[in-house]
Chain A
Amino acid sequence: MTNDLCSWDKERRFATENNKLYVSNAIWVIMQERSVGLEDAKEVCRALIRKNIEKHLDVVKNAKDGSQYSPDLVRFLDAMTYTISGNVAWSMSCPRYNIDAQYSPQQQEWMANGIPDHLRREKRTRPLKAQPRCTPLIQAADTSISNSESASSDSRSSSTTPTTPSELCFSTNRDVFLDRHLSPLSREVSGVPFPFPFSQFQTPMVKPVLILHQIIDGPSSYIASLPGKGIRNTIADALNVWYSVPESTVTVIKRIVDQLHRASLMLDDIQDGSRLRRGKPATHTVFGVGQTINSSSYGVCGAMQEALKLGNTECARIVVGMSIHPTTHGGARSFLTVLDAEESERLYVGQSHDLHWTANLICPSVGEYIRALDDSEYCLREGQLEQSK
Chain B
Amino acid sequence: MLARLLEATSPLTHKPNLHSLITMLGRAYALRDDYMNLASTEYTQTKGFCEDLDEGKYSLPVIHALQNLPGPRALILSNMLTQRRMSGKASPDHKQLILDMLSEAGSVAHTLDVVRLLQDEVDREIEVVERQTGMENLQLRAVIELIRV
Contact = CB atoms under 8 A, between A and B. Distances in A.
A329 B55 CA distance: 42
Contacts of A388: 36, 40, 42, 146-147, 149
A242 B135 contact: yes
B6 A245 contact: yes
A336 interface: yes
Given A231-B146, A279-B47, A241 B135 contact: yes
B19 interface: yes
A241 B137 contact: yes
Contacts of B16: 242-243
A274 B54 contact: yes
Given A232-B2, A379-B1, A381-B30, A357 B58 contact: yes
A354 B64 CA distance: 16
B3 A257 contact: no
Given A238-B139, A370-B27, A383 B33 contact: yes
B7 to A, nearest CB: 5
Interface size, A (range): 35 or more
Interface string A232-243: 101111111111
B15 A329 contact: yes
A315 B5 contact: yes
A383 B47 contact: yes
B27 A335 contact: no
A241 B5 contact: no
Given A330-B14, A378-B1, A388-B36, A245 B9 contact: yes
Interface in A14-63: none
A150 interface: no
Nearest to A380: B30
A276 B50 CA distance: 11
B2 A244 contact: no
Interface residues of B, number: 66
B11 interface: yes
A312 to B, nearest CB: 6
A381 B33 contact: yes
Nearest to A273: B88
A361 B78 contact: yes
A130 B14 CA distance: 70
A244 B146 contact: no
Interface in B27-80: 27, 29-33, 36-37, 40, 42-43, 45-48, 51, 54-58, 60, 62-64, 66-67, 78
Q: Which interface residue of B11, B29, B67 has the most chain A CB atoms within 10 A?
A: B29
A344 B5 CA distance: 12
B55 to A, nearest CB: 5
Q: Which interface residue of B1, B3, B51, B147 has the most chain A CB atoms within 10 A?
A: B1
B36 A335 contact: no
Contacts of B2: 232, 235-236, 239, 253-254, 257, 378
A335 B46 contact: no
A256 B14 CA distance: 25
B141 to A, nearest CB: 8
A369 B19 CA distance: 19
Q: Which interface residue of B9, B33, B140, B147 has the most chain A CB atoms within 10 A?
A: B9
B85 interface: yes
Interface of B: 1-19, 22-23, 26-27, 29-33, 36-37, 40, 42-43, 45-48, 51, 54-58, 60, 62-64, 66-67, 78, 81-82, 85, 88-89, 129, 133, 135, 137, 139-140, 142-143, 146-147, 149
24 contacts: A238-B142, A239-B3, A239-B18, A243-B6, A243-B16, A245-B11, A250-B6, A253-B6, A272-B55, A318-B1, A330-B14, A335-B7, A354-B57, A358-B56, A364-B58, A364-B63, A373-B26, A373-B27, A374-B26, A378-B2, A381-B33, A384-B30, A388-B42, A388-B149
